[in-house]
Amino acid sequence: MARTVAALHILVKHEAKAQELLKQLDKGANFQTLAKKHSTCPSGKKGGSLGEFRKGDMVGPFDKAVFTGPILKPIGPVKTKFGYHLIKVLYRT
């Protein structure tokens, strides 16, 4: 069972915006470029990078998504109290 994960994410206020960005990612858009342009999280400036973190460090739905979702494929939108996240898991250890 993985205990740490490294991920990128894009945080937006509205599900419709998250869906629109997901379509762009499906067509080959660069995740980090979209994060810099659209994410409302401070991590957006770093291409959405959250670095490495441990299980339980993030809010429940986000935590579950990064530890159970596919690696290197966009996951989402995942709804939390902060808004809607698109997540890209880089690796789990």
Domains of the chain in sequence order: 4-92 (3.10.50.40)
Distance of CA 29 to the CA centre of its chain: 14
**Structure confidence by residue, pLDDT tens digits, 69-92:** 999 999 999 999 999 999 999 999
41 to each of 3, 68, 92, how far by Cα in Å? 24, 22, 22
What pLDDT is attached to residue 2?
Answer: 76
Query: Six-digit token pair at 25?
Result: 């990612």
pLDDT surpassing 90 at residue 67? yes
In single-letter form, the type of residue at position 27 comes to K
**Structure confidence by residue, pLDDT tens digits, 25-63:** 999 999 999 999 999 999 999 999 999 999 999 999 999
What pLDDT is attached to residue 56?
Answer: 95
